[in-house]
Amino acid sequence: MAKDKLTTRKIVTRVLILTALTIAMVWALLPIVWMVLSSLKTEAGMFSMPPKFIFKPTFSTYAFMFDEGNFGQFLNNSLIAAGSSTVVALLLGTFGGYALARGNYRGKKHIAFWIISTRMTPIAAAIVPLYLIFANFHLIGSTFGLVVAYTTFNLPFALWMMMTFFAELPPDMEHAAMVDGATKFQAFYRIALPQVAPGLVATGILCLMFAWNDFAFASVFTGHDTQTIPVAASLLVSQTGIAWGQAMATGTVIILPMVIAGLAVRKYLVRGLSMGAVK
């Protein structure tokens, strides 16, 4: 009887957990699915009642955005700004993280905390001083200025993450390689770096997401020819109304690349984030 009660309790617990997870998944995915489906409908079809989930898709909205609109340039600006800042943050963050993890000097913990504390600064508090600095260097309205702005926030995060991943590795293999004649850089490049590849991928994806989805920096530091997709989405809301078709299509273009990238590297993302877990 006791075993039957335990078995029944386990079944009920699992059913409740699965039900809660299903509700949470539907709650999270339904707006995304609705947005993607709406981007493939005509504007009349978006507001039809009852809603239609089976319909003949149309790509007229996407064709209009790329052919007659300026969406291709917005997309190109986002790709350049987000991609460049991610590469720079990963490159510098990897070297800096390794130095903080393996370095033996006074005040190392204070330096590490100071670095991550810059990432904790609210964006609203950083925009004004950054704007004044960028204005003096004539970076306002340029893609390069936007890359620098993204890097100022991505680099501390990347450096802190990579420091955590490298600190989790035992240094014995690196010491053995240097005893065999390898240089410090060779031990880093050939021994330590391949072991933190999942963490490198996870950090890169997160930095890319931060830059890709940014609106605050893009709306302040860009000009007419350097605006990104989030800024383009905000332009669809005017006093005369909302261009719902283009808004849904723009939202789909914003979210789908990150979803696809996350799914493609989900194994490395989970492994990378778990590498830095506090035990």
Indicate which CATH number applies to the domain containing 249: 1.10.3720.10
User: Quick check: 166 pLDDT over 70?
Assistant: yes
pLDDT digits (tens, 9 = 90+) for 49-103: 777 777 788 888 888 888 777 788 899 999 999 999 999 999 999 998 898 888 7
Q: How many domains does the chain have?
A: 2
Output b/e per residue, 164-199; b: 16+ Cβ within 10 A.
Answer: bbbbbbeeeebeebeeeebeeeebbeebbeebbebb
Rounded Cα–Cα distance for residues 138 and 196 (Å): 38
Per the confidence metrics, is the pTM higher than 0.85?
no
Domain extent at residue 52: 2-58
pLDDT above 90 (res 123) = no
123 and 155 in a single domain? The answer is yes
Please, are residues 261 and 205 in contact by the beta-carbon 8 Å criterion? yes
Q: Residue 86 corresponds to which tokens in the numbers above?
A: 């991610």
> How crowded is residue 13: how many other Cβ atoms within 10 Å of its Cβ?
10
How high does pLDDT run on average in the chain?
Answer: 84
Q: Are residues 198 and 217 in the same domain?
A: yes
pLDDT, tens only, 153-164 = 899 989 988 888
Q: What is the pLDDT of residues 222-274, one digit of tens each?
A: 888 888 999 888 888 776 777 788 888 888 888 888 888 877 777 766 665 56
Q: What is the phi/psi pair of residue 238, to 5°?
A: -130, 180
Mean pLDDT throughout 24-35? Answer: 88
Does 217 lie in the same domain as 172? Answer: yes
Beta bridge partners of 241: 238
User: Please, are residues 197 and 264 in contact by the beta-carbon 8 Å criterion?
Assistant: no
- Where is the domain boundary, 12, 38, 58? 58
Higher pLDDT: 193 or 69? It is: 193
